[in-house]
Amino acid sequence: MADSSVPVRTLNNGIAMPQLGLGVWQANDEEAEQAVIWALQTGYRLIDTAAAYGNEAGVGRAIASSGIPREDIFVTTKLWNADQGYDETLHAFDTSMEKLGLDYLDLYLIHWPMPAVNKYKDTWRAFEKLYADKRIRAIGVSNFQPDHLQGLLADSQVVPAVNQIELHPYLQQGETVAACIAQDIQIESWSPLGGPRGNVLDDPVVAELGTKYSKSAAQIIIRWHIQSGFVVIPKSVHQERIQENIDVFDFELSDDDMQAIAALNRNLRMGPDPATTNSK
Ligand code: NDP
């Protein structure tokens, strides 16, 4: 992280995670490779992919060709729903690592809890084994609501280091955020700009703040995530936007302006509801 101005968050097992990274959902393998190359050149050191995105190989090629020491890059991938279960997880992890071309992973996440399928505890036991075997530096979950977290915590050895959830000004997830803070679980925001539909970026309050701080709507929103203490992973496959999205460390939103964004919450999901999503 030496080349980057991005701050780090210290996870509950003591390891450092960059607070801003690049997401690559809906980028194909070649697009993801190019986007990660640009991001690493621009100072990003956190990359967020998933088995389900079909671009782990492209991400791996970009990392390999970057010339940046492996230990300076924080790589996250996720276990897909169809691979939940103890043996299935161990196998899926090896497949992801082969595609990424890595010999250890920084963060592995259970992509969705799928409560009705009810395999997430067996899946987590496999995560704990991979963690104990030092193949992963931190293990976590994604899309877990407080009741899923409770179920996991009641039956496990390792507290998840991270919960990656849909979080943006229109969906602020106060209850889940509070439950994670209580357990020292780092919140990571997915669809931090509101996702591909983009309507959060068009919000008039955000536009007004953009004018006030001479920043774009995306930069205002990313800065709000940073000042809220969340890890944030905006996705773009455009070089100028990748640069724009990391250029958020030369200004600070006032308390009043943080409040103005907090007041935009309308509990509006852009993605699926984890309580009812069993396959995505
Ligand atoms: P984001 O909120 O990051 O928004 C991405 C969209 O915004 C894209 O259409 C992108 O277009 C556009 N965009 C990016 N930067 C700018 C900018 N500066 N100005 C205007 N438009 C911009 O949505 P995502 O849903 O991709 O979420 C981010 C990441 O979170 C994903 O890539 C993935 O890694 C992760 N994620 C995890 C999920 C989970 O279940 N755990 C679910 C969904 C996402 P373009 O690329 O054309 O520039």
* Residues contacting 118, CB < 8 A, separation 6+: none
Q: How far is the CA of 24 from the centre of ligand 1 (A)?
A: 7
| pLDDT confidence of residue 280 | 46
The highest-level CATH class for domain 8-195+226-250 is: alpha beta
Q: How far is the CA of 129 from the centre of ligand 1 (A)?
A: 32
| pLDDT confidence of residue 195 | 84
Q: What angle do CA 163, 231, 16 make, to 5 degrees?
A: 90
| pLDDT confidence of residue 4 | 52
Q: What angle do CA 227, 239, 165 make, to 5 degrees?
A: 40
Query: How far apart are the C-alpha atoms of 61 and 89, rounded to whole Å?
Result: 24
Q: Is the CB of 201 under 6 A from ligand 1?
A: yes
For the chain, what are the domain ranges? 8-195+226-250
Query: How far apart are the C-alpha atoms of 119 and 89, rounded to whole Å?
Result: 11
Of 159, 271, 181, the C-alpha closest to 230 is 181
Query: How far apart are the C-alpha atoms of 58 and 52, rounded to whole Å?
Result: 13
| pLDDT confidence of residue 3 | 40
Q: Per this entry, what is the length of the chain?
A: 280
Closest C-alpha residue for ligand 1 atom 9? 196
- φ/ψ of 140, rounded to 5, equals -155, -170
Reading the chain (280 residues) residue by residue, the pLDDT tens digits are 334 589 999 999 999 999 999 999 999 999 999 999 999 999 999 999 999 999 999 999 999 999 999 999 999 999 999 999 999 999 999 999 999 999 999 999 999 999 999 999 999 999 999 999 999 999 999 999 999 999 999 989 999 999 999 999 999 999 999 999 999 999 999 999 998 877 899 999 999 999 999 999 999 999 999 999 999 999 999 999 999 999 999 999 999 999 999 999 999 999 999 988 755 4
Query: How far apart are the C-alpha atoms of 15 and 231, rounded to whole Å?
Result: 14
Under 8 Å between Cβ of 218 and 234: yes
pTM: 0.97
- DSSP 8-state symbol, 10: E
Ligand 1 atom, smallest distance to 217 CA: 19
Q: How far is the CA of 265 from the centre of ligand 1 (A)?
A: 19
Q: Is the CB of 236 under 6 A from ligand 1?
A: yes
Taking CA atoms, 239 is separated from 75, 107, 232, 236, in Å, by: 20, 25, 18, 8
Active site residue 213: no
| C-alpha distance across the termini of the chain, in Å | 34
